[in-house]
Structure 1
Amino acid sequence: MKGQATAAYEEFYRDEITDMEFYRKLSGTMKGTDLGDSLARLSDVEREHSDFWRKAIESSGESVSHIRPRYGKISLLLFLRRILGTVLTVRMLEHGEISTVKMYREYADSLPDGDPMRQGLEKIIREEVSHEEIFQNSIERTRKDVQRSRDIIYGMSDGLVEVLAALAGLSAIIVDHFIIALGGLVVGIGGTISMTVGAYLSQSTESQYRINEEMKKSLFRMDGRAESKIASIEGESAESALTVAYSYIIGALVPIVPFLLLPRIPALAVSVVLVAVAEALSNSIVSLSMGLSIGRNAIKATALSLIASAATYTVGELFHIFLHITVL
């Protein structure tokens, strides 16, 4: 009968060969780039880790021939990479490895000093923790991609919450679901304009600061790189504003569409569910990009969006009760 320790080793081995295969396939799509080289190095590191667990399993008299990578997980991550980008997808994988590293740490601490198994685990732990450092330069080079992803998420999130809150308040005093949808559309248009202007001004201020810093650095360089970099920075304000604008519109349409198709109360219920799911997903992506807890932030964002809609519905209901306001 297979021992408990050996069963754990097999799961660790499966995790490592899964990561190794994912990094290998991902690096193959980015050959000739620094990020592709970093991914290839990570694949080699994971191969060394898998060899460590393979030897541990074989020393207990078991074979690893029946253990295969989790190809379903690999396919899902490669698909998500097309949506989220390489950096966020890798961070998603790294975030999931935190619990594994904790188990490595606990197991290593249970072994006596000088034990070869403990020494090997200590090396693996150090290398797992240093994964982020391997990507540091690549993450900086893909800063624009990460910023664009965040602009999309923040714009969409604001559209979801603000328009749902408005629709909830209108639902308490307006009977016709189509009129409620029109009211939400007006709020969405106003919010889009407001968010676009705000995003432009915010990014413009940051861009101007970075341009000034780049001009200072150019005084000590004579390679002509400053002009091209400044030109790139100058275009970020308009790009950020446009990204936030269309993201806000998409987010606003999510709670509006049910009111175009369904009666008032069912439409509100469907909108609430759609917004809750969308908020959870969008904030999970933001948390991944910032290395934060996914579950906690997703739940908090979803709860706050529902509280906002409940509050505005209550205000609308109070207007209906005490001021006798009803629009048929």
Structure 2
Amino acid sequence: MQQPNYGATKPSSDTHQLNQKHIMDMYHDNSEADNQPLIQKPHDDENQPSTYNSDMIRDIIIGFADGLTVPFALTAGLSSLGSTKLVVMGGLAELFSGCISMGLGAYLAASTEAESYAHRRDEFLGAYSSDEERRKCKKERVYGVLTERYQISREAARPLVEELVAKDCCQPSKEKDSVSSPWVRFVMDTELKLEAPDVNRAWISALTMGLSYFIGGLIPMIPYFLMEKATEALIISIAITVVILLVFGYIKNWVMIRNKRAGLRGALQTLVIGALAAGTSYVIVRALD
């Protein structure tokens, strides 16, 4: 009697090959998925962080903040005398003199910084009496920066030091101790913490700070040009200045810190400082009248 076959039938060769192909396809798909990064890298033209010129931003902040505060405080104090003509004349005189003063101050500060950098560089390069002493000191100074400050062993730092000094030695003799020298740039940047100033930095700083001061100081004076009564113009000027101070204080801190809480703190700080300056000026002029 023939026994029934309860077992599974043996798959055909074609079915077996199809199953193997399916498994291999699944394996390749999973492998490719595993190799994909979890966070996709953004395109070159999208979501790139903006770069800011910190020196120019600093000049704009200082100039605009002083322009909002000083002329506004002066015009607020002069408005207690009741003459818009007097307010406009006094405000414009302070505005132009302050603009020139801030611009010259920024120019002198940038020029002094450039002269200080050149003096420190010449003093640094003139400390060696011979080429052998200079060559030996080059390596030791670079080793000192890498091992002491960055905790890098001499063995790990040796290739970098040798290449840095070798590139410096391959330069023409007149450029070995110049700003273009790799060794000089390395020591000035890392050890002396002095950055080479831009050639046009002084003029750019002067124009930026002076123009920012003029724009910031002109805004609170606009109502006095358009209205006859000084008291009414003062109220409009206060309202405009309060809004500008809040917006400027928020943007100032948000641009530098990228934090909303810091922006709110900056808005309140700027408003308080401007209010104190204007209130003090108003009280003093009122008391002297």
Name the TM tier (shorter chain).
0.5 to 0.7
CA distance in 2, matches of 1:298, 1:153: 13
Determine if the alignment matches structure 1 residue 226 to structure 2 residue 179.
Answer: yes
CA shift, 1:284, in A, is 2.4
CA shift, 1:193, in A, is 1.8
CA shift, 1:289, in A, is 4.2
**Could you tell me which residue of structure 1 aligns to residue 100 of structure 2?**
193
Say if 2:114 and 2:197, in contact at 8 Å, map to a contact too.
no
Instruction: Tell which has more relative contact order, 1 or 2 (C-alpha 8 A, sep 6+).
Output: 2
1:128-165, Cα deviation, whole Å (9 max, x unpaired): xxxxxxxxxxxxxx5xx222122112101101100001
CA distance in 1, matches of 2:212, 2:45: 31
CA distance in 1, matches of 2:280, 2:197: 43
Say if 1:284 and 1:297, in contact at 8 Å, map to a contact too.
yes
CA shift, 1:231, in A, is 8.6
1:300-322, Cα deviation, whole Å (9 max, x unpaired): 111110111111111111122xx
CA distance in 1, matches of 2:77, 2:121: 48
Say if 1:196 and 1:241, in contact at 8 Å, map to a contact too.
yes
1:80-135, Cα deviation, whole Å (9 max, x unpaired): xxxxxx24xxxxxxxxxxxxxxxxxxxxxxxxxxxxxxxxxxxxxxxxxxxxxxxx
SS in 1 for 2:64: helix
Say if 1:167 and 1:183, in contact at 8 Å, map to a contact too.
yes
Greater than 3 Å deviation, 4+ residue runs: 209-217, 219-225, 227-232
Equivalent in 300, 309, 315 of residue 284 of structure 2? 315
Equivalent in 263, 281, 286 of residue 252 of structure 2? 286
Say if 2:249 and 2:269, in contact at 8 Å, map to a contact too.
no
CA distance in 2, matches of 1:311, 1:287: 26
Letter in 2 for 1:299: L
Say if 1:254 and 1:275, in contact at 8 Å, map to a contact too.
yes
Equivalent in 38, 59, 65 of residue 157 of structure 1? 65
Determine if the alignment matches structure 1 residue 209 to structure 2 residue 226.
Answer: no
1:35-85, Cα deviation, whole Å (9 max, x unpaired): x5xx5xxxxxxxxxxxxxxxxxxxxxxxxxxxxxxxxxxxxxxxxxxxxxx
Equivalences for 1:1-328 in 2 at 5 Å?
24=42, 27-28=44-45, 36=48, 86-87=50-51, 142=52, 145-173=53-81, 175-212=82-119, 221=168, 222=171, 226=179, 233-262=198-227, 263-291=229-257, 293-320=262-289
Letter in 2 for 1:226: V
Say if 1:150 and 1:286, in contact at 8 Å, map to a contact too.
no
Letter in 1 for 2:239: V
CA shift, 1:280, in A, is 2.3
Sort the Cα spacing of 1:24 and 1:195 in 2 relative to 1 into closer, same or farther, 3 A.
Answer: same
Letter in 2 for 1:190: S
CA distance in 1, matches of 2:206, 2:277: 25
Letter in 1 for 2:58: R
Say if 1:287 and 1:294, in contact at 8 Å, map to a contact too.
yes
Aligned length: 189
CA distance in 1, matches of 2:90, 2:42: 51
Say if 2:252 and 2:266, in contact at 8 Å, map to a contact too.
no
Say if 1:159 and 1:250, in contact at 8 Å, map to a contact too.
yes
CA shift, 1:24, in A, is 4.3
Unaligned residue ranges in structure 1 (runs of 5+):
1-19, 31-35, 40-85, 88-141, 321-328
CA distance in 2, matches of 1:246, 1:153: 11
Say if 2:78 and 2:86, in contact at 8 Å, map to a contact too.
no
SS in 2 for 1:152: helix
Higher helix share: 1
CA distance in 1, matches of 2:114, 2:254: 25
